[in-house]
Chain A
Amino acid sequence: MSQTPVQSPPSRLRIAAFAPIGEEGRTELVESRLVQAISVGAFIEGERLPSETELSHLLGVAVVTVREALGALRHRGLIETRRGRNGGSFVRPSHGTVEEVNARALMEMPRVALADLGVHYEVISSACAEYACLRATPEELRIVERILRETRDLPAQLWRRRITEVQLELAALSQSVRLTNEHVRLQTEFTPFLALQDQDVEARLATHDALLAQITATQSGDVAAARTAVRESVRASARWLVRFRGELLETSQTGDLRATLGSRHTRGDSGGALSGEESA
């Protein structure tokens, strides 16, 4: 087994991304599904998307619909198309593009909807955590814990992908198909926002440590502690996002979004101080 961190996403997210769309499939629907897949990190920068034919099979829509959707993505600068034997559509190898798409989505989302997404995610994750306490085996938990521990010092983007994987795995340990499916759906929706935190080292470590605490609690079958770890962590993230959204809206009056986001990478913080402390 290779010891190098592998730059790749949780498989389950891809399966969700390619669940058949069916007859109501419009170009916009294919487009938003692909944007979501890219922004959730289901595809890495520079990676080739499935071919038009394969996408049309997977999504259950006509090739021409896929072609139009890819055209729209190209126009938005999210993918680039190369011709020739090794050609195809590739995710634009620039983290900035994806981050900008996610930041815009955050700005456009009403605050009340953002908060409610946080509540929904928190409730489903906590429920999964409770059932995992009752049902997961030590061996299963050891594997998740190992994946998590190997993740801590990875660069932000790789770290986020691994974390998403860990979150999905923990949900599946509930042994509930319904909860796992619901979790995948929410994870796909929430992760692009959560990833905006990744430039904030403090926020990143807080997420990481909360997951470790959740696993430890699950290992000892402590339902209350597992639920608490999930709740506090998701709420902290939701507060962070609300604050960050506010900052983005403020700077959008005056400046350029890309520059604002870019400055975070050099400053190494978010501008929004994370409140790691929990008001009891």
Chain B
Amino acid sequence: MSEAVGRSLDDAIARVDDFFDGVFAPLEEWLPPLRTRVSGWIDDESFTGAQLAALVEEDVTRMLDNAERPLYGAGYCASDAVVTEGNPLAWWQGPERSLLASSTFGPGQAAIDLVRLEWYRVPAATGERHVAGPFVDYLCSNEITITSALPVEVDGRFCGVICADVIVASLERVLLPRVAELVDATLVNLGGRVVVSTDPGYETGDRYLGADPESGIDALVAAGSAPDGVRIARSARYPFALIGSGAGAN
């Protein structure tokens, strides 16, 4: 594997980091004022999903309109500390910035449904930001999606997550031209699931060969390399890595 390929891998993963920094930036900007507002809603027993949607709509649509990244949708999914009645997911998406059907969750459904969803479950459990996917998002976008999530905490209580969706179709356009200079570069998540690849042998959603189903690409990353002249550049801040195979070295 040539030094040049190694360097361009590092450059390319830095661009991936930069891309997601840009996805999180508007969420981070929104978080402090939102937390202030949420603290006023927490103790209101009768606070409903419909009220939540009305109160955050302006913030979310503004965020989508001004986004410097191709965000497909964004919103706030409240925990039961905030919304006990109605739909806790205030979500807008698509070219029309349409509100996701308010009848998505039935009564009492949210708690069970949400725990299934990685973008909610992981920040709830860790208190940390998370990037989930790619996955078939049959709740919101109905596309192969990557969801970036930031937990909302008020006085140590978990109050839900604010999220932004990027659909892989638009990520492809942003990231593939940049890795195209590498021969056979594949962006994977830490579970070893392919995000995008220049290698015709890999499609979005595939499991990267040699990634362990249970530990993902951890073992490969730890070694910093893999068999067959494969090199790995791990993202500094996000659960992604770029795997380059060294045909370019020959």
Q: Assuming the A-B contacts A12-B138, A14-B103, are A134 and B207 also in contact, with contact meaning beta carbons closer than 8 angstroms in the complex?
A: yes
- Closest-CB distance, A225 to chain B (whole angstroms): 16
A175 touching B109, Cβ below 8 Å: no
| Bound-complex Cα distance A139 to B122 (A) | 12
Whether A69 sits at the interface, judged by CB under 8 Å, is no
**Interface presence of A256 (CB below 8 A):** no
Assess the B116–A169 pair: CB atoms within 8 A.
Answer: yes
- In chain A, positions 151-194 with a C-beta closer than 8 Å to chain B are 168-169, 172-177, 180-181, 184
A43 to chain B, nearest CB (A): 7
Asked if B236 lies at the interface with its beta carbon under 8 angstroms from chain A, I say no
CB distance from B13 to the nearest CB of A (A): 22
With A6-B112, A15-B101, A137-B191 known as contacts, the answer to whether A175 contacts B144 (CB < 8 A) is yes
Closest A residue to B106 by beta carbon equals A8
The reply on B111 being an interface residue by CB < 8 A is yes
Counting chain A CB atoms within 10 Å of each CB, the highest count among B101, B118, B135, B216 belongs to: B101
Give the contact-size bracket for chain B: 20 to 34
Within 8 A of B (CB), among A42-60: 43-44, 47, 50, 54, 58
What's the least CB distance linking A169 to chain B, in Å?
Answer: 7
In the complex, whether B66 has a CB less than 8 A from a CB of chain A is no
Q: Sorted from nearest, which 4 A-B pairs have the closest CB atoms? A: A175-B205, A8-B106, A8-B109, A172-B136
B residues contacting A by CB (< 8 A) are: 101-109, 111-113, 115-116, 118, 134-136, 138-139, 142-144, 191, 193, 204-207, 213-214, 216
Task: Name A's B-contacting residues (CB within 8 A).
Answer: 1-2, 6-9, 11-12, 14-15, 18, 43-44, 47, 50, 54, 58, 131, 134-135, 137-139, 143, 147, 168-169, 172-177, 180-181, 184, 221
